[in-house]
């Protein structure tokens, strides 16, 4: 599996419901349904695997050979 090969599984949470995403001065505050709070510099909301990709133009965003992939 791609995520295991590149040791990404430690950064992935499954079966987690996001209640709110709030933009703050230094990034985004993400509140989860279980009450946990997370903070991120950037957030991408990706829904629907049947849609045509539309990548936002964000400073520092990389679509290098392993930074972005579509797993079918």
Place of tokens 């050979």: 65
Residue 28 lies in a domain: yes
Report if residue 23 sits inside a domain: yes
Q: Answer yes or no: is 17 within a domain.
A: yes
CA 21/CA 28 separation, integer angstroms: 7
How much is the CA Rg of the chain, to the nearest whole Å? 14
Q: With respect to residue 49, please indicate whether it lies within any of the assigned structural domains.
A: no
Left if phi > 0, otherwise alpha if psi is -120 to 50, otherwise beta: which for 23?
beta
User: How much is the pLDDT for 67?
Assistant: 45
**pLDDT number for residue 25:** 93
Residue 22, domain member (yes or no): yes
- What is the number of structural domains in the chain? 1
Instruction: Enter the pTM of the model.
Output: 0.55
> Hey, what are 12's tokens?
């992935």
Query: How do residues 15-71 score in pLDDT, each as one tens digit?
Result: 888 999 999 999 999 999 999 999 999 887 766 666 777 777 777 766 555 444 555
């Amino acid at each position: 599996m791609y995520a295991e090969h590149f040791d990404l599984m430690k950064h992935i949470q499954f079966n987690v419901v996001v209640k709110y995403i709030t933009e703050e001065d230094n990034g985004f505050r993400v509140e989860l349904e279980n009450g946990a709070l997370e903070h991120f510099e950037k957030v991408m909301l990706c829904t629907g695997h049947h849609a045509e990709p539309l990548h936002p133009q964000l400073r520092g965003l990389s679509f290098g050979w392993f930074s972005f992939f579509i797993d079918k």
